[in-house]
């Protein structure tokens, strides 16, 4: 995996082979960040990275100057790797590593993030994908102007949520985007 932009642009990282992960491809990650750059100044955002795995997305946000990144994963090998890599790259002030089941974390989390990124295992049941979206909005974990991005396979459809805005496809990777509903401004004639 490679950090695409920011302070560590071009840096290659090699995760241990024994981690139970499927990192987001560089092409999909670059496309995702091109979209997010249209909405946010990366050095002004707070981020939560759910199912963080190798920390691929967390490092990208930190490299681009995010204020803070919470990397949540239940696999101890993954969280150890993220902590070690964050220290090596000097991200220990930005990245907080949380070893927890994501659903337990969501049910007890307090505070909002500007960007929440979730990359669950592709073999996870669709109702669990939907639970992520529900928990984020029911518990107000996303800031008012924030965006939730869920990475998923083609077989998962999350478009029924009122907060759903779009799905983008990059090869086999699909990103669905969610925002708080915006009240349409009334115009006077």
pLDDT at 106: 97
Q: To which residue do tokens 């995702």 refer?
A: 32
pLDDT at 83: 97
pLDDT at 186: 40
Contacts of 135 (CB under 8 A, 6+ apart): 103, 106, 107, 141
Give me the half-sphere count of Cα atoms (radius 13 Å) on the Cβ side of residue 28: 23
Residue ranges of the chain with per-residue pLDDT less than 50: 184-189
pLDDT at 23: 75
What domains appear along the chain, each with residue ranges and CATH number?
26-178 (3.40.50.150)
pLDDT at 182: 62
What 3-state DSSP class applies to 161?
A: coil
Cα torsion for 94, 58, 30, 33, to the nearest 10°? -60
How many whole angstroms separate alpha carbon 129 and alpha carbon 86? 28
pLDDT at 19: 82
């Amino acid at each position: 995996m490679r950090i695409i932009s920011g302070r560590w642009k071009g840096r290659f990282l090699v995760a241990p082979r024994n981690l139970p992960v499927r990192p987001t491809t560089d092409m999909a990650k670059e496309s995702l960040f091109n979209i997010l750059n249209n909405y946010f100044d990366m050095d002004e955002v707070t981020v939560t990275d759910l199912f963080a795995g190798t920390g691929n997305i967390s490092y990208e946000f930190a490299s681009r100057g995010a204020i803070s990144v919470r990397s949540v994963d239940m696999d101890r090998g993954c969280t150890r790797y993220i902590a070690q890599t964050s220290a090596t790259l000097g991200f220990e002030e930005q990245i907080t590593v949380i070893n927890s089941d994501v659903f337990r974390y969501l049910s007890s989390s307090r505070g909002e993030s500007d960007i929440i990124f979730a990359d669950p295992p592709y073999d996870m049941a669709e109702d669990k994908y939907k639970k992520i979206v529900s928990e984020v909005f029911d518990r107000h974990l996303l800031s008012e102007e924030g965006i939730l991005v869920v990475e998923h396979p083609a077989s998962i459809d999350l478009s029924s949520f009122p907060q759903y805005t779009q799905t983008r496809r990059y090869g086999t990777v699909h990103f669905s985007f969610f925002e708080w509903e915006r009240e349409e401004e009334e115009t006077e004639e």
